[in-house]
Structure 1
């Protein structure tokens, strides 16, 4: 083991870079749909040893190791994000004749940019690096900070934060209710790095004990929340809903000639009778942008909807909303969700607030035009962002907090007012990515929003994976991916939130500061020892 550690630490040049990339790629095995959590023990142990070999002089005054540490962290992140996000390229192949040229940008360019955050994590960890268990705390603090930064820098893209790999099942998700996904990420890095101490020995007993305590607390809290005293169901509202998963092919969906057939298929699925013994759904949900035309410009469509809805039924449907602009300006389009009653009347609507870069809008469009890059601007998109999110209120009194598509991956999108909702409604269209890890990863992040906030999530996806998720992240009823199905279920809208968003943020920063303090104490002891 000691020889192995020495070999890893002494690597340099391309061999060091390749091992760091491989270590990052192995870490991605912990993500859905594989969920091989043990891969993280291998990856972060190797990362610790590689960073050990990048340290500067023993007096702690040299900055020679900082650049190397950043590079190692970047290589680790590049491997992790390429292995975890390669499926993004599938969206560009829907119209390959126009956008195949951008495939390297999606498969390699985005991971290269995201890897800068993990390079920063290694750089920050280097500041408090030592030879004992404190370096685990330094790396944990570094990753905690950069995963938090990934949530909002340049509009944010916190997809596949390290903590998701530590939470493949509800038992292992519950800690997110206390510390959020970023707090779990920091704790996970410490725990998964602990095997590195077995070979280097120094601080092994203390480090392994602390890692074991954190892992036991993580699992223990999951057991307590899922199998301990449960909140009373008395007075909790229940609702019978139908999720329509039409499994529309994305290329067909963009074909103008197919629009009428698509709409008729949605109506047919809506009108199907419930299974024997099931009540008629009170609410029917269609996925993101499922209505294949501007609804308000097609009055006949309201009549067709009213014709299939039974008395008292409500339709919640994803659609594109247009808004007339001032004279001389182009109209604005919004990615929206409508609430429509059995008379074909719009009762409410909400527009998407957090748009997808390059999918729904092009960042820095005016600057790109000025420098002549027109091909990038022609990527699919063209939506405007809403200034505020609107709660969807139904005649029955039920309230749904809408999150459209990838808005559900952002903890900070659960803003003031969500506590008054009965459930989060997440409509999405993952058909762009086919049967790849993407839809599975998206589903897991929706489950974590349920756990963090203690509120059910109702998720309807065009091609899957549609699901009714309870406040503990458990899938009560779901639909298989890439199947044309309807899912009927009676959902108990039990909210179990016990901690505010502020409380989770406070706990997250307490964890980060604790790791920084532990790393600083360990480093101080290390400097005294070598002097």
Structure 2
């Protein structure tokens, strides 16, 4: 059957639709079965395109994906960056259009280098290599990766083996093989069945409980971000978190968690508050809180520190551009109000940091944005029995951003076979078990606390041991046959 052909305009519309379908695979929609459909729509007719046409197709896909799934950045720019509507819309459009260049470059390279034979295989490999590029280039943005949505699908047991990129690879392969099946290439049914039925034979438990469960209380202050860094905001933060802690002080909690930058001040300024709170806690209770630090050299860090029955600290390694530091600061700082950060520019912490120790167990950390980086979290999980992520998702407003953020935290739990504690300023505060299931969840946009139990775990999943590099190598290997076949065809033509 000849390759499917359609007009360039229709191809672009299908690509935009495929991007929208990818957003629907993610939270809060969680229509994971649309993942292969989205990949298949992009693959459809790809071999008939020139590299330039393929790049346009990829860019249209990116517009559909990030325009529908990441346009929550408008809330941060307009509501909290104090930027007018026209400029906020322009910046959001530039953000979306810039991110859309990643799939554009991926498809351009694919059509420039790969031939038509085994296209179903090389396309899936190229897709994952494109996601890898988006993860690390220009500090990276691994949001809305195709595999993230599969945390609730029958493919989920693959996650502890190869992580999110293996899930992306299998999802993309299912899409390309599905197109081949529609072309009446019946052999495609066999690898699809193998990929989706194999999880039935995979282990369901890679790690095992270590010691007794810990009783935790996660405190959600729900502070108004607009006033948080004012004097009134500081006083309100101190009041809310000390009162929320006091209500749990007489109970036998192992861990009490405050979220990222819970008190809008530096650790040195917050020490009297911490000492007062700690004096009212039972001696066996550990308090972990996000806080900003300023060292003797005038450097600033976004950190997690432990009080009471806790030792150590963690300093955020992967900072958010334009949120925690300003690229090209000398050029941009005075251009518009959005680029004037409400706090000093942060300094990244060391790449290798030991886990915190609290309540007799080791705790790996990921502050806010860091939880979306699978390999960074795996590096923490190798030496930890629990994972903690503190966040301030107030920047997302009432958009779908916090729900997407929670879904990625769930996948990190599944990849590493670790319980994840997620404490946020206004939601979604939750506890997640080692299979990525939410065991308890607090309502958003309320002053509240969430109590429950988490289980320290021992042992390492294959993904925790190796990280993503085996899947990246596999993806590159899937592209290579297409490259060799293309070169052979060119030699014959010459």
Superposition TM-score, scaled by structure 2 size: 0.89
Q: How does 1:141-152 map to 2 (within 5 A)?
A: 141-152=125-136
* Residue 195, structure 1, aligned to residue 178, structure 2: yes
Provide closer, same or farther for how the CA distance between residues 356 and 496 of structure 1 changes in structure 2, counting only shifts above 3 A.
same
Offset, 1:106: 4.9
* Residue 216, structure 1, aligned to residue 202, structure 2: no
C-alpha contact (below 8 Å) 1:245/1:461 kept by paired residues: yes
SS at match of 1:400: strand
Aligned residues between the structures = 492
- Tell me what 2:167 maps to: 184
CA root-mean-square deviation:
3.1
- Tell me what 2:203 maps to: 225
Q: Distance in 1 between matches of 2:467 and 2:36?
A: 26
SS at match of 2:108: helix
SS at match of 1:72: helix
Provide closer, same or farther for how the CA distance between residues 528 and 490 of structure 1 changes in structure 2, counting only shifts above 3 A.
same
* Residue 244, structure 1, aligned to residue 219, structure 2: yes
Provide closer, same or farther for how the CA distance between residues 468 and 180 of structure 1 changes in structure 2, counting only shifts above 3 A.
same
Q: How does 1:47-58 map to 2 (within 5 A)?
A: 47-54=42-49
C-alpha contact (below 8 Å) 2:214/2:454 kept by paired residues: yes
Offset, 1:267: 1.2
- Tell me what 2:16 maps to: 21
SS at match of 2:75: helix
- Tell me what 1:62 maps to: none
Q: Distance in 2 between matches of 1:145 and 1:212?
A: 24
- Tell me what 1:419 maps to: 382
Q: Distance in 2 between matches of 1:18 and 1:189?
A: 20
C-alpha contact (below 8 Å) 1:73/1:122 kept by paired residues: yes
TM-superposition CA deviations, 1:125-145 (whole Å, max 9, x none): 323342x6x222121011111
Provide closer, same or farther for how the CA distance between residues 385 and 216 of structure 1 changes in structure 2, counting only shifts above 3 A.
same
* Residue 76, structure 1, aligned to residue 61, structure 2: yes
Q: 1:507 aligns with which of 465, 470, 474?
A: 470
SS at match of 2:426: coil
C-alpha contact (below 8 Å) 2:303/2:316 kept by paired residues: yes
C-alpha contact (below 8 Å) 2:106/2:130 kept by paired residues: yes
Q: Distance in 1 between matches of 2:58 and 2:287?
A: 48
Provide closer, same or farther for how the CA distance between residues 293 and 122 of structure 1 changes in structure 2, counting only shifts above 3 A.
same
C-alpha contact (below 8 Å) 1:194/1:211 kept by paired residues: yes
- Tell me what 2:30 maps to: 35
Q: Distance in 2 between matches of 1:166 and 1:417?
A: 23
Provide closer, same or farther for how the CA distance between residues 230 and 427 of structure 1 changes in structure 2, counting only shifts above 3 A.
closer
Q: How does 1:59-138 map to 2 (within 5 A)?
A: 65-95=50-80, 97-98=82-83, 100=85, 102-104=87-89, 106-126=91-111, 127-130=113-116, 134-138=118-122
Provide closer, same or farther for how the CA distance between residues 386 and 507 of structure 1 changes in structure 2, counting only shifts above 3 A.
closer
Provide closer, same or farther for how the CA distance between residues 194 and 526 of structure 1 changes in structure 2, counting only shifts above 3 A.
farther
Q: Distance in 1 between matches of 2:476 and 2:35?
A: 23
SS at match of 1:94: helix
Q: Distance in 1 between matches of 2:106 and 2:192?
A: 20
SS at match of 2:203: helix
Offset, 1:323: 2.1
SS at match of 1:251: coil
Q: Distance in 2 between matches of 1:19 and 1:452?
A: 32
Q: Distance in 2 between matches of 1:18 and 1:232?
A: 48
Offset, 1:523: 6.6
Provide closer, same or farther for how the CA distance between residues 396 and 274 of structure 1 changes in structure 2, counting only shifts above 3 A.
closer
C-alpha contact (below 8 Å) 2:304/2:313 kept by paired residues: yes
Q: 1:271 aligns with which of 246, 249, 265?
A: 246
Q: Which moved more, 1:420-429 or 1:384-393?
A: 384-393
Offset, 1:478: 2.1
Provide closer, same or farther for how the CA distance between residues 418 and 52 of structure 1 changes in structure 2, counting only shifts above 3 A.
closer
Q: Distance in 2 between matches of 1:387 and 1:283?
A: 25
Q: Distance in 2 between matches of 1:339 and 1:508?
A: 36
C-alpha contact (below 8 Å) 1:50/1:72 kept by paired residues: no
Q: Which moved more, 1:417-426 or 1:185-194?
A: 417-426
SS at match of 2:363: strand
Superposition TM-score, scaled by structure 1 size: 0.83
